[in-house]
Structure 1
Amino acid sequence: MLTARIAYDALPAGVKAAIEEVIGPVEATVSANGGFNSAVAARLCTATGDVFCKALPADHRWVWTQRREADIAPYVIGLAPDLVARLAVDGWDVLLFEALDGHHADYSPGSRDLPAVVALLEAAASTPCPPIELRDAVDRLRSYVNDPADLDQFAGTALLHTDLNNANLIVHADQARLVDWGWATRGAPWLDAAYWVLWLVAAGHHPARAEHWAGKVSTWATAPKVGLRAFADAQARLWTKINDRSPGDTWTARIAAASRRWIAYRRNLS
């Protein structure tokens, strides 16, 4: 889901005034480079500290992701940046978060960030699923399975992030935190580790090594072989479809290619 990005200063004056009522005068802004799920994504610098701002028009079709992030915030303290405030002003939906220091996780082979990601996924796996409205893994993967019976493999009651793009993990002092919980999902507990495999392959890992790292997350041990193959196949179908809609996009082409490498590896195991 791609949303046209605008600078923080392009927000209506009333929206910026409401934000400054919460955090104080904004002295400088730094727009985020990655991700296009929000019309505004910027670090706001104030005299008392920095805040990260995400904003969408209130009538945008993806505004529910803002609500989801606000709803889940009290349940993922320590895993994600703290939510400072959610504002609805002049036709805009605004989220203000604690600004995280650090860098996007490096998933490449040999990266020192990988153990920090394992620790974060382990902590997330032990976090109870909150009693709020969430997406359902079975519903999200329904269109991408070859056999509808495979959908049973994805059912469960675990809290899942599902978007393990390295840009969504911020690492600082060997600790990682997850941002962008808008697509939080309820499903089988091993799924987040499986989602990570795809991004590891895209970062240059052989699928076997990617699964080795995923195996350091305890929930991976609960994944049945038939479930892993069905999931890898679903990811290949999903990313092929995304890539077909975005010809010439090297980013989606890279992920689609990784998904094909993973399902080829999984098929060779059986």
Structure 2
Amino acid sequence: MVTTRIPLEDLPLAALAAVERQTGPVVRTETVSQGFNSEIATRVFTDSGSCFVKGLRADHKRAWTQRREAEVNPFLRGIAPGLLWQVDEAGWVLLGFENLEGRHADYSAGSPDLPKVAGLLRRLGEVACPEVELRQAEQRLEAYAARPSDLEHFAGRSLLHTDLNDHNVIVDDSAYLVDWAWATRGAAWLDAAYWVVWLMAAGRHEPESAERWARTVPAWSVAPADGITAFAQATANVWEEIAGDNPDDWTARMLDAARHWATFRKSA
């Protein structure tokens, strides 16, 4: 479900004051249009620097994702922008992160960003999953797997991002993953598998090309073929539900990519 975006200036005065105690007086702001998980998503500029602020109302049903993102951030140095501060004030949960100066990744075939994203997933694969409360991959996919036995393929002890949307990858000389709202514990190869669908949807890759990039991530080599096929079908089922009867263009593109991959896996 898409969350309505509001400007930082629309926060209660007490919440704005709490932010400025962290940042100093705000000179200007830039509301970010991309992303679906936060009501506040704003670049904040002061005389001494900048940061990125995201937040949700404390009574929002997904407010727990803000707190979870804060918990995993210390383990993601060099992979995600660092968490600078957090505020819980006037009914809002707000997080302040380093403001990355890069751009969104280009997933198109032949893009120079693709090796950077592959390197990012390799670095993530080296991170030990922290002992914090996380959703389990097999739990999240339980309603979408074709068979209950498929869920065994998705279980594991690795820290996963699970939303490899090109807008969640910021690139400059390197690449960084933002928006850890859906951090999950599961099989090490799953983020490479999530990337396959996004490569097909955002970069117009065919399944063979997308899977070639997935194979550059070491964890993919331990993924069972049956597990990949089961994941592809579960992902198609996820997007069937999201799309409903009248999907917008973006959702329809994701559904088409997921269906295409699932069909390819069944015939491979």
TM over 0.5: yes
Q: Distance in 1 between matches of 2:49 and 2:110?
A: 34
1:45-83: CA deviation from partner (whole Å, max 9, x where unpaired): 111111100011100000000001100011111110000
Letter in 2 for 1:226: D
Q: Distance in 2 between matches of 1:213 and 1:46?
A: 40
Aligned to 1:195: 194
Q: Does 1:88 align with 2:93?
A: no
Q: Distance in 2 between matches of 1:100 and 1:265?
A: 37
Q: Secondary structure at the match of 2:78?
A: coil
Query: Which blocks of at least 5 consecutive residues in structure 2 are unaligned?
Result: none
CA displacement at 1:36 relative to structure 2: 2.1
Q: Secondary structure at the match of 1:159?
A: strand
Aligned to 1:27: 27
CA displacement at 1:248 relative to structure 2: 3.9
Aligned to 2:176: 177
Letter in 2 for 1:251: W
Q: Secondary structure at the match of 1:53?
A: strand
Aligned to 1:41: 41
Q: Does 1:256 align with 2:255?
A: yes
What is the root-mean-square deviation of aligned Cα atoms in Å?
0.8
Percent of aligned positions that are identical? 50
TM-score, structure 2 as length reference: 0.98
Q: Distance in 2 between matches of 1:265 and 1:36?
A: 29
Map 1:48-87; keep pairs closer than 5 Å.
48-87=48-87
Q: Distance in 2 between matches of 1:28 and 1:210?
A: 40
1:198-248: CA deviation from partner (whole Å, max 9, x where unpaired): 000112000000000010000010110100000000000000110016x24
Map 1:67-216; keep pairs closer than 5 Å.
67-173=67-173, 175-202=174-201, 203-216=203-216
Q: Secondary structure at the match of 1:107?
A: coil
Q: Distance in 2 between matches of 1:146 and 1:118?
A: 29
Letter in 1 for 2:191: D
Q: Secondary structure at the match of 1:193?
A: helix
Q: Secondary structure at the match of 1:60?
A: coil
CA displacement at 1:146 relative to structure 2: 1.1
Q: Distance in 2 between matches of 1:196 and 1:39?
A: 26
The answer as to whether partners of 2:5 and 2:33 remain within 8 angstroms in 1 is: no
> In the superposition, relative to structure 1, how do residues 192 and 248 fare at CA in structure 2: closer, same or farther (>3 Å)?
closer
Q: Distance in 2 between matches of 1:50 and 1:110?
A: 33
CA displacement at 1:107 relative to structure 2: 0.4
Q: Distance in 2 between matches of 1:36 and 1:238?
A: 17
Write out the 4+ residue segments of structure 1 that deviate beyond 3 Å after TM superposition.
none
The answer as to whether partners of 2:239 and 2:254 remain within 8 angstroms in 1 is: yes
Q: Secondary structure at the match of 2:85?
A: strand
Q: Secondary structure at the match of 1:2?
A: coil
The answer as to whether partners of 2:79 and 2:176 remain within 8 angstroms in 1 is: yes
Q: Secondary structure at the match of 1:180?
A: coil
Q: Count the aligned residue pairs.
A: 267
TM-score, structure 1 as length reference: 0.97
CA displacement at 1:182 relative to structure 2: 1.3
Q: Does 1:268 align with 2:267?
A: yes
Q: Distance in 2 between matches of 1:217 and 1:36?
A: 27
Letter in 2 for 1:119: G
Letter in 1 for 2:197: L
